[in-house]
Amino acid sequence: MSSKFPRRALISVSDKSGLGPFVQGLVELGFEILSTGGTSRFLKEQGVNVIDVSSYTEFPEIMEGRVKTLHPRIHGAILGRPDLPGDAAAIEAHGIIPFELVVVNLYPFAQTIAKPDVTTDEAIENIDIGGPSMVRSAAKNHAYVGIVTRPEQYDRVLGQLREGELSLAFRRELAGAAFEMTATYDRMISDWFTELTSEDSANELPPKLNVSLTRAASLRYGENPHQRAAFYTEPNPSPGSLAAAKQLHGKELSYNNLLDLDAALCIARDFSDPAAVVIKHNNPCGCAIGDTLAAAFDKAYEGDPVSAFGSIIGFNRPVDVATAERLCEPGRFIEAIIAPFFETDAITMLQTKPKWKNNVRLLECTGWDNTSGLGLDYRRVTGGLLVQDRDDQPEPEAEWKVVTERQPTAAELIDLKFGWKVCKHVKSNAIVLVSGGMVVGVGAGQMSRLDSSYIAAHKAGERSQGSVVCSDAFFPFRDGIDEAAKAGVRAAIQPGGSRNDEEVIAACNEHGIAMIFTGRRHFKH
């Protein structure tokens, strides 16, 4: 910036995190501060001498603040190139003082539309106009102007300014971040309007899908050491999502940890009773409900203690000392735990008692029950993206039908309902055996449903006697029921809908097995 002009910064932000100390640092470096509206009031309360934009432009804010920075003296001060004769003449003729720094972030549109009771008018009023205009202008003219759009940039900006001025490389970096911010912002607004104006939004997904994600963490590697990996998150992720969880302790998370933690989170929150789930390779090898969280964990871990070594644990209640004591028992090794909350003494125990105390990752997801905004389910394929609704809708239990001669007992019905919730989270073909509110055997991801039945029965052993069987899709033949009967199964739940349903029902009647048709399939490929 030419020394003939005073050092000036234009500041207009919605997110005022860290703004006070940052601006004080600018003032100490000799900057004059121009601002408007709420930012101006905030800075004056911080003791900063602020020049109001309206006094500089000699034009008042109008239309309830909708128009305040859209003025030639503002954008001329941002876009001007003082070393070009034409620009220099315009700057002098119109009394423009160029900005060295523009600090702008935008109205909180994402937070506004995430509110359950937001109105259309409220959403529209939170569409920023002047902010993106200033950001884009400053980013375009980054050869002369530094554009600052995030509080995380403040320290680096001050550091370079204290050494003289912002380097061109840094100004280019800031400009790139600025254009990404406005692009993300515009995509959010476009998506909102698409949903708002869709003629049949309940039955059809949007014709165009824009996905904007921010890298939250660089991971050591992906599923295998030779694969690069990173964790990207949505803007303002749902409080009930893994992206919103806070790591309290332990080593950095791996790619596979994150996959398994998400599986644990999704399963555990499906239950209203105290519940624990043990995840291995994205499948539950154990899951249970109990009168207490500790009791639920004991049952879940005993579902398959061999597979549970090196597992991920999910809870739907705060982890208390009693549960932490169970987690720390000798012979157990746990990679990570996710829960709504950890009691202080429980954290201390997990950090000090077991051999794996320094490594175990503890994640707290305080917005456990808030699943609004989880959005659509994406699956990458080569050259495209498969998109669907999440399989998280309430089960229509009123539509369930008992199709056999024998009705399930009250105890069997409890286990059937519990197992059906677990089954939808198991990779297809999925067979889950349940007894006494705990998973005793799982057959997952097999090419044949009969193979899954064999595996589930083998895992359960003697515990399969008197158990119930849950199948994510229909039994295509009676062989699956015959296998269940050999294992001592007394009741079954499945969607129904096979052309061989009558054959399967007849097999159940022969073996004295009660069976429910749910009418809803839960494939998880």
Q: What are the tokens at 58? A: 């000699």
DSSP string, 51-115: EEHHHHHT---BTTTTBSS-SHHHHHHHH--TTSHHHHHHHHHTT----SEEEE----HHHHHHS
How far CA 387 is from CA of 200, 210, 229, 308, 392, in Å, comes to: 17, 12, 22, 32, 15
Residues forming the active site: 140, 281
| Lookup result for tokens 């159940």 | 508
| Lookup result for tokens 């809803």 | 520
Closest by CA to 36, choosing from 55, 22, 18, 21, is 55
Assign residue 380 a region (left: φ > 0; alpha: ψ between -120 and 50; beta: otherwise).
beta
Strand 229-233 with 246-249, pairing: unpaired
**Cβ-based neighbour number of residue 432 at 10 Å:** 31
3-state secondary structure 219-285: ECCCCCCCCCEEEEECCCCCCCCHHHCEEEECCCCCHHHHHHHHHHHHHHCCCCCCEEEEEECCEEE
